[in-house]
Amino acid sequence: MLTVHLRLHEATTALAGRLRLLSRGQLCWPLGRFANDHESTYESAEGLFTYIDGPCELLLPPGPFQLTAAAGPCRTPLSGEYTLAAGQLALRFVLQRVFDPRQRGWYAADLRVHGLTPHGALLQARGEDLDIVQLLIRPGDSLVAFSGQEVAVQRGGTLVAVNTLNESETGGTLALLHAHRPVFPLSTAELPWALRDWCDQCHRKRGLVVWPDTPRLTEQHPAREAFQAALQGQIDALEVCSESSLVLYQELLNAGCRLALIGSSGRSDRTSRLGQVRTYAQLLPGEELSLASYLEAIRAGRCQASSGPVLELYLHAEGYEARVFPEQTVQWLHNGVEVASAWASVVLPRQAVKTGWLAARSQGPHGWAHSSALWLEGPFQPHLSERLSALVAARPS
């Protein structure tokens, strides 16, 4: 066995990432990493991966080995069989960058993560090329790591903050981000409390209220109080953790809820990967990345949910233009109906749409993305879908 120095890199820069290495049918772990460590591992259908934050050392016998490695959706992953020559003590693998959102002002975040320490979240966030992680404390969890408007831990430009997820069994669940202190009670099982009180307390210090992708607006979990708060503008953003949840976002827009759209993994154990669904938010020119600047970009609607690609929206003389990077099909949606579609870039004439909302969507080999809505100036008559109408009309159980 040889003690081998392994490095993932881009040009001359060492990368954090996740990797899985098999030699002679056995998993080989970097020294200091263990299969039962949920802080540094991710379990996919392929098996267990470990996260590394730069170069690592591992014991490896000479001969063939299988390596799978990745470092976020904007770099091409590696997967193949390689050979360690006798006496070889270093391995270097290049992960080619396909696209760099930061060069265009876009920064990636996972805005709801559970079940990790701040340092575990930082390790995995760096391995998935995330700039910000919001680690959310649930009712019953310890509040000792709460950081609110402060950064809990950071390294190499990646920031981790710790806030709360507040739960009402009948009213709904809210994520309270960038609150200056914990907003109590964390659960209405502890004390009678209204969701609007949580919203007001969070907003007092410019916090952001998110309606997370937990069971909501179903017969079993009607969450009528959260729905009312969204209609009244007390909730800032809707979170989606999967492409299927985009249907609800469009239903709420048609109902008149002017919500920004964000994406999160909702990670609660090591079978979920940080950033598998993420938020891209665009900072203003010259603006530095911070927890506050990022959440203000969301509040302003300069954000989108994505599993990888980035959408950019433009308004010019020809009309509304949407572009997607890396290139794949992109569409315009008007009040939930596709009205234009093309490869890489699509222009919708201004006169083609007058009222309601517009959003861009992309689906293809690089994943999916959906922008927050743009609201048009003409009069708009909100309406409920049949499904939402039935839920609102139903008597509380």
Query: What's the pLDDT score for residue 188?
Result: 86
Buried b / exposed e along 235-256 (16+ C-beta atoms within 10 A): bbbbbbbebebbebbbbbbbbb
Least confident of 8-12, 165-169, 302-306: 8-12
Digit-coded pLDDT (tens) for 330-366? 999 999 999 999 999 999 999 999 999 999 999 999 9
Task: DSSP letter for 86, please.
Answer: T
Residues in contact with 309: Cβ distance below 8 Å, sequence separation at least 6, in sequence order: 73, 324, 325, 326, 328, 362, 364, 366, 367, 368, 369
User: Residue 367, by phi and psi: left (phi above 0), alpha (psi -120 to 50) or beta?
Assistant: left
Q: What is the model's pLDDT at position 378?
A: 86
- Looking at the chain, the domain(s) classified CATH 2.60.40.2190 span 2-94
Task: Give the separation between CA 146 and CA 345, rounded to whole angstroms.
Answer: 42
pLDDT beyond 80 at 255: yes
- Please list the residue range(s) of the chain that carry CATH number 3.20.20.140: 101-375
Q: Write out the two tokens for 229.
A: 């708060």
Q: Which amino acid, residue 144?
A: V
Q: How far apart are CA 58 and CA 134, in angstroms?
A: 31
| Average of per-residue pLDDT values in the chain | 95
Q: Report how far residue 10's alpha carbon sits from residue 95's, in angstroms, rounded to the nearest whole number.
A: 6
pLDDT tens readout for residues 213-231: 999 998 888 898 999 999 9
Q: 101-375 belongs to which CATH class?
A: alpha beta
**Rg (alpha carbons) of the chain, rounded to whole number:** 22
For the chain, give the percent of residues with pLDDT over 90: 88
Tokens standing for 167?
A: 């739960």
Would you list the DSSP string of 325-376? Answer: ES--EEEEEETTEEEEEEESEEEE-GGG--BSEEEEEEEETTEEEEEPPEEP
Return the CATH number of the domain spanning residue range 2-94: 2.60.40.2190
**CA–CA gap between residue 261 and residue 277 (Å, rounded):** 12
For residue 150, name the pLDDT band (cuts at 50, 70, 90): very high
SS3 category, 202: helix
Residues 166-188 have a mean pLDDT of: 94
3-state secondary structure of 140: coil
Question: How far apart are the C-alpha atoms of 276 and 113, rounded to whole Å?
Answer: 11
pLDDT > 70? residue 8: yes
Q: Which amino acid makes up residue 76?
A: T
